[in-house]
Amino acid sequence: MKGRILEAARRIFGEYGFHGTTTRMIAQEVGIDISTLYYHWGEKADLYEAVVLDIYEDLRRKLSEVERAVQGKPLARRMEIALDTMTEYLFEHPEISNLILFRYFAKTRHASPLDFRVPELMGNIAYSMGLVADKKHMPVDARMKMLAVMNTIHSFVSGQNFFMPLLDIDRETYLPQVKETLKFLLIPPFLDLAGRIKVKKAGEKKAGEIGAGNDRS
């Protein structure tokens, strides 16, 4: 039951945000009384926090999966796979993107103890993209780049119902368009960067690991 409530809460919070969601909406979605909800999860803010923690965990898992899937591939291909996979995944679970974007302007924040997970998420994927050598210690500019990439995807997912009528296209056209746009925007800068790092490194020591030998199509 506790799990069923969490699952419903994910959907509703993801769709209406914290303030737009009432505990009665969630209870009704599950088909239970609100008292049962309070019995399992305590106050609304606690349930919300559990939801956010849950989606962060999902995101972390998916990113690890991607990280493994791209190992050994050249950078351009790595980014293609990562972007495609994450885009597809988030389109299947739009509440993840919604909840993450909702958090950006949430006044409901009491400096949640789960924010420490975000740098970790960024670190892993940045490492996997050959942006940094050290998984633990990321320079600010590398983190910014990761944030930008994630935000761009999230915006397209969260904004889909807003953008589709605006562009006058349906979902089947929208998704590939998003993928294409993401690849268009995000791959060239990182290839450039990898090229620069490679050249720089080659002048010092061996050029390993990063940007495994490939140039732009």
> CB within 8 A of 65, min separation 6: which ones?
85
Convert residues 39-78 into a mask of x (bound to DNA by CB under 7 A) and - (unbound).
Answer: xx-xxxx---------------------------------
Residue 89: HSE in the Cβ half-sphere, 13 Å Cα cutoff: 17
124 binds, among DNA, a second copy, none (CB under 5 to 8 A by kind): none
- For residues 79 and 66, the answer to whether their CB atoms sit within 8 Å is no
Of 16, 103, 93, whose CA–CA distance to 62 is shortest? 93
How far apart are CB 202 and a second copy at their closest, in Å?
20
Convert residues 6-45 into a mask of x (bound to DNA by CB under 7 A) and - (unbound).
Answer: ---------------xxxx------xxxxxx-xxx-xxxx
Residue nearer to DNA on the CB measure, 44 or 145: 44
Measured CA to CA, the distance from residue 106 to residue 18 in angstroms comes to 8
By CB under 7 A, residue 198 contacts DNA: no
Applying the rule CB under 8 A, the residues between 98 and 137 that interact with a second copy are 98, 101-107, 111, 115, 118-119
How far apart are CB 7 and DNA at their closest, in Å?
14
Q: How does DSSP assign 44-110, residue by residue?
A: HHHHHHHHHHHHHHHHHHHHHHHHHHTTTS-HHHHHHHHHHHHHHHHHH-HHHHHHHHHHHT-TT-S
Measured CA to CA, the distance from residue 96 to residue 89 in angstroms comes to 10
* Residues at the site binding a second copy, with contacts judged by CB under 8 A: 15-20, 98, 101-107, 111, 115, 118-119, 140-141, 143-145, 147-149, 151-152, 154-156, 158-159, 161-163, 165-167, 169, 173, 177-178, 180-182, 184-189, 192-193, 216
